[in-house]
Structure 1
Amino acid sequence: MLVVGGLMLRKRRGDGDPEVRLTKASAPVLLPWLLGIGFAVGLFSGFFGIGGGFLIVPGLMLATSMPLPMAIGTSLVAVSAFGAATAASYAASGLIDWPLAGLFILGGVLGGLAGTRLGQRLAGRKRALTVTFAGLVILFGLYVVARGALPLLGSIT
């Protein structure tokens, strides 16, 4: 996540290609990238327990050259689909605290609405949106590193 966030802070040659689509013509170029990066995002998400969305967005941008707002929207649809499948599996197993989940969902919906408004405001200032997103990726990367390092440091002393 630290590397991905750092790479996002680099100036890009352009704003991305808002016309990018997966078609028969683009598939030979896009499919290998999408499958490879998708596999890597899934691997990292599963292994480290980090949010896939923070890796899917930069991965989509790398694989397709799409602009950040389009990658965010595409990522949200993908995360919703496999999140629903995973949630159904956990619900069938009886591993959900429904009152807690309901409150968390309510907070998430309200936060999502507020975040959408903020994103729309920043969309006109593409660099600000990119820097904000990259900063969050780096911040969460540092959190993951700290959570992993603290137990190791405790066992040394």
Structure 2
Amino acid sequence: MLALTLPIGLVVGITLGALGGGGSILTVPALVYLLGLDPRSATTGSLIIVGITTLIGMLPHLRAGRIRLGQGAVFGLLGVGGAFAGSLLSTSVPPNVLLAAFAALMLVVAAVMTRRRRAAARNETAGRSQVEARTTPMVSLRPFCCDCRAVGVLLLTATAVGLLTGFFGVGGGFVVVPALVLALRLPMPVAVGTSLVVITVNSASALLSRLGQDVTLDWGVIASFTAAAVLGSLLGARITTRVKPARLSLAFTVLLVLVALYTAAQSLAPLL
């Protein structure tokens, strides 16, 4: 099993470090279909793996000045209520229904990443990304600086991300990054780094809400998966400076669709 755990964890960590989110969504299907965990153990174990990986993976981004700690921490805390609610809801859903919903979520993530990639390509063509990077300050003394409408969007997004984290055991970075860009007007590299702070807070709060649930965890699998994912996240942070994010995003989107289709086929068959 170790021969499977290490490369899978490495792939998840690389996508987390390079893309700032989205990679964690592969953790649950990998734990279920490749490593043999049941869905509830997989979603709980995923919170541990993702939380530790993002906590350590944010260090290179922090040294490079690509993290706004205040904004990320507040965003994460705003989603604590959603994380607790999602954890409670997950206990009442049959495993195959949970996995079928997870497959649908993966397809949504693939669509969001495709849209983001196309938008980034248009911005690069128009030259707006360079202007934004020069005109947006890298350091802010206030956690938030945005209008009322943006605050409303931020609250809804933070709650939704917390709900997804608690229910599915994912980090929700695919939602966090666009929210940080649109609501807080952060440059994309800073949004990617700051999203790791949000994911860490959400994962920790969702995990705390599951402490009273009767879930059996395979600590050997979780420990080896986490170690590989941490190494991958550090490698992923370096990859961002050498490989175009659009290429990474495209490769990950294709992988995500394939995994989603497989998960849907496996989980829907017993329900039909």
TM-score (normalizing by structure 1): 0.70
**1:118 corresponds to which of 229, 239, 250:** 239
**1:84 corresponds to which of 185, 190, 204:** 204
Q: Distance in 2 between matches of 1:58 and 1:24?
A: 16
Higher mean C-alpha displacement, 35-44 vs 98-107: 35-44
Match of 1:73 in 2: 193
Q: Distance in 2 between matches of 1:134 and 1:34?
A: 27
Match of 1:6 in 2: 114
Tell whether 2:158 aligns with 1:41.
no
Q: Distance in 2 between matches of 1:48 and 1:90?
A: 12
1:75 Cα shift?
Answer: 0.7
Match of 2:219 in 1: 98
Question: Structure 2, unaligned stretches of length 5 or more?
Answer: 1-108
Match of 2:256 in 1: 140
Q: Distance in 2 between matches of 1:97 and 1:90?
A: 16
Q: Distance in 2 between matches of 1:130 and 1:136?
A: 10
* 8 Å Cα contact 1:4/1:58 also seen in 2: no
CA gap of 1:5–1:77, structure 2 versus 1, over 3 A, is: same
1:104 Cα shift?
Answer: 1.2
Q: Give me the identity figure in percent.
A: 30
1:78 Cα shift?
Answer: 0.9
Q: Distance in 2 between matches of 1:83 and 1:24?
A: 22
CA gap of 1:77–1:30, structure 2 versus 1, over 3 A, is: same
Match of 1:125 in 2: none
Higher mean C-alpha displacement, 67-76 vs 32-41: 32-41
Match of 1:19 in 2: 137
Q: Distance in 1 between matches of 2:179 and 2:258?
A: 19
**Aligned-partner residue type, residue 140 of structure 1:** L
- How many residue pairs match? The answer is 151
CA gap of 1:6–1:53, structure 2 versus 1, over 3 A, is: same
**Aligned-partner residue type, residue 259 of structure 2:** Y
Q: Distance in 1 between matches of 2:271 and 2:146?
A: 51
Once the two structures are superposed, what CA deviation does each residue of 1:123-156 show, in whole Å capped at 9, x if it has no partner? xxxxx21452355246425533542255446876
1:98 Cα shift?
Answer: 2.1
**Aligned-partner residue type, residue 6 of structure 1:** T
**Aligned-partner residue type, residue 204 of structure 2:** A
